[in-house]
Amino acid sequence: MDCSLLKRRSDYEWWIEPFGKMRVPGIIFAAEALVRDMDHKVYEQVVNVATLPGIEKASYAMPDAHWGYGFPIGGVAAFDPDRGGVVSAGGVGFDISCGVRTLHTGLTLKDLQPVKERLADVLFRKIPAGVGSTGKVHLDQKGMNAMLTGGAQWAVSNGFGSADDLERIEEHGCMAGAEPDQVSDAAKKRQQDEMGTLGSGNHYLEVQRVVQVYDAGIASAYGVREGDIVVSIHCGSRGLGHQIGTDFLKRMVKAAPGHGIELPDRELACAPIHSDLGRAYLGAMRAGINCALANRQVITHLVRQAFAEVLPQAGLPLLYDVSHNTCKLEEHVLDGQPRRLFVHRKGATRAWGPGHPGIPAAFRDVGQPVLIGGTMGTASYILAGTRESMEIAFGSACHGAGRAMSRTQAAKRWKGRELVDQLKSQGILIRTSSLRDVAEEAPGAYKDVNAVVDAADEAKLARKVARLEPLVCVKG
């Protein structure tokens, strides 16, 4: 990206002053090197989002921003429904409620090392992964609708975990306002055998080691210490979420002219929040959120079964579960007044600061855990939401490293087998059903996650708490 197009407000905040049909500024949070490495399409998409009706404050891009469908991945925008605000399927993304869940184990490397290979094999056997992967949970129509309504609460009520888990999940594991009737039969059919599966792409299950703690006080509140072994699950709503996005994007494109909406890009298809179509999408999307929460809950149950088989002394309570592809109704303060806004976060993680009533009581004094995933062989991070983020970005932060090249480019540059062998020599075991997927997700195909997290920390979007490094990775 050409930095001359931007107005530098600080070392980590860059503005696009409104021009043309922009209703608000564009704001990019990143170090200069990260901004320069961003594709020019990020600039265009930040500008385009700023033209949408009812947008408030700014169109934001997080430090990991890259070109996406309509919105940039790493994009954040909030809309007031009472001022013509819209909801955009492209502003949520196709993998609705994709997110990260992290579990404690109570183990150290000394416990893990003797059985590391066996644990990797058992996890790979128990957790289905890859394109078209299916699980052992089959949902008939009644079960599907119950899952889409109940989310992780449905999963717990069906024996996949305990009520304690629900206290450490966004929305207590169930997104209110879900409307399964707004989810197409095609979407439901795609999901009927996919519950409890990782899927493909950048999804994974990792056994990780806490290698560095940056804030001992917050880490203590989160129950995290240097040397701890944790497990992180990164996945979403599988085929169901993708189909919801596909279905509603088509409908929104056709309906936009009738609502007087001029789209700078048809991928930004949207509908007024107060319209029938807007309400229908929100109902379907919320069902998609519940699908993702249920999916990660079932996978958690399978992870616990695997550990019980190999390391029965492990305890696996939740640290937290947070999504990064959502649109949620939240209360934020603008110009000193509380306002209820629909906040789109696409490839961006909610990062509420200390004192927010929506944070679990155990974390309320220090801020919400923000879980930042790496990519197969690179570090992941635990951050904490900040009060500053609530003021400058609607309580939002990055979600990962962000791609630096396409999957096609990565597959041409790297060989899956060589990467698996290379990572094994570094002490990282990869289990996958597709070596091509490994090549597509090569660490070098992504931005430097350390630089992204440092930028988020310096911009005060979230505070660094701990750095995690992978030991075992089951690859989607």
pLDDT category, 452, cuts 50, 70, 90?
very high
Greater confidence, 403 or 455? Answer: 455
Q: Is residue 381 scored above 80 in pLDDT?
A: yes
Query: Residue 136: what pLDDT?
Result: 87
Q: Over the chain, what is the mean pLDDT?
A: 96
Contact in structure between 143 and 352 (CB atoms under 8 Å): no
Active site residue 234: no
- Residue 322's nearest CA partner among 168, 453, 163 is 168
Q: Provide the residue range defining the domain that includes 353.
A: 3-475
Segment 217-245 shows an average pLDDT of 97
- Residue 153's nearest CA partner among 166, 140, 143, 141 is 166
Q: Is residue 299 scored above 80 in pLDDT?
A: yes
Active-site pick, 66, 172, 203, 399: 399
pLDDT category, 106, cuts 50, 70, 90?
very high
Query: Residue 75: what pLDDT?
Result: 98
What is the four-CA torsion angle of 157, 317, 96, 29, rounded to 10 degrees?
A: 150
Kindly report the backbone phi and psi dihedral angles of residue 297, in degrees, each rounded to the nearest multiple of 5, phi listed first.
-70, -40
Say how far apart CA 333 and CA 314 lie, in whole Å: 43
| Residues in contact with 300: Cβ distance below 8 Å, sequence separation at least 6, in sequence order | 101, 103, 160, 161, 165, 233, 316, 318
Question: For residue 208, what is the domain's CATH number?
Answer: 3.90.1860.10
Residue 391: CB atoms within 10 Å: 15
Q: Is residue 129 scored above 90 in pLDDT?
A: no
23, burial (CB in 10 Å: exposed 0-12, middle 13-18, buried 19+): middle
pLDDT category, 375, cuts 50, 70, 90?
confident
Query: Residue 433: what pLDDT?
Result: 86
pLDDT category, 137, cuts 50, 70, 90?
very high
Overall number of domains in the chain: 1
Q: Is residue 134 scored above 90 in pLDDT?
A: no
Query: Residue 22: what pLDDT?
Result: 98
Structure tokens that stand for 288 in this block:
């998609």
Query: Residue 238: what pLDDT?
Result: 95
Say how far apart CA 111 and CA 88 lie, in whole Å: 47
Task: Give 143-181 pLDDT, tens digit per residue.
Answer: 999 999 999 999 999 999 999 999 999 999 999 999 999
pLDDT category, 120, cuts 50, 70, 90?
very high
Q: Is residue 278 scored above 80 in pLDDT?
A: yes
- Residue 403's nearest CA partner among 415, 411, 395 is 411
Task: Give 189-223 pLDDT, tens digit per residue.
Answer: 999 999 999 998 889 999 999 999 999 999 999 99
Q: Is residue 109 scored above 90 in pLDDT?
A: yes
Beta bridge partners of 60: 27, 76
Share of the chain above pLDDT 70, in %: 100
Greater confidence, 201 or 253? Answer: 253
Query: Residue 451: what pLDDT?
Result: 97
Structure tokens that stand for 183 in this block:
């989810």
Query: Residue 201: what pLDDT?
Result: 86
Q: Is residue 280 scored above 80 in pLDDT?
A: yes
Structure tokens that stand for 114 in this block:
């003797």
Structure tokens that stand for 279 in this block:
């309400």
Task: Please write down the HEC assignment for all residues of the chain.
Answer: CCHHHCEEEECCEEEECCCCCCCCCEEECCCHHHHHHCCHHHHHHHHHHCCCCCEEEEEEEEEEEECCCCCCEEEEEEECHHHCCEEEHHHCCCCCCCEEEEEEEEECHHHHHHHHHHHHHHHHHHCCCCCCCCCCECCCHHHHHHHHHHCHHHHHHCCCCCHHHHCCEHHHHCCCCCCHHHCCHHHHHHHCCCECCCCCCCCEEEEEEEEEECCHHHHHHHCCCCCCEEEEEEECCHHHHHHHHHHHHHHHHHHHHHHCCCCCCHHHCEEECCCHHHHHHHHHHHHHHHHHHHHHHHHHHHHHHHHHHHCCCCCCCEEEEEECEEEEEEEEEECCEEEEEEEEEECCEECCCCCCCCCCHHHCCCCCEEEECCCCCCCEEEEEECHHHHHHCCCEECCCCCECCCHHHHHHHCCHHHHHHHHHHCCCEEECCCHHHHHHCCHHHECCHHHHHHHHHHCCCEEEEEEEEEEEEEEC
- Residue 295's nearest CA partner among 198, 187, 195 is 195
pLDDT category, 131, cuts 50, 70, 90?
confident
Buried b (16+ CB within 10 A) or exposed e, 142-163: eebbbbbbbbbbbbbebebbee
pLDDT category, 413, cuts 50, 70, 90?
very high
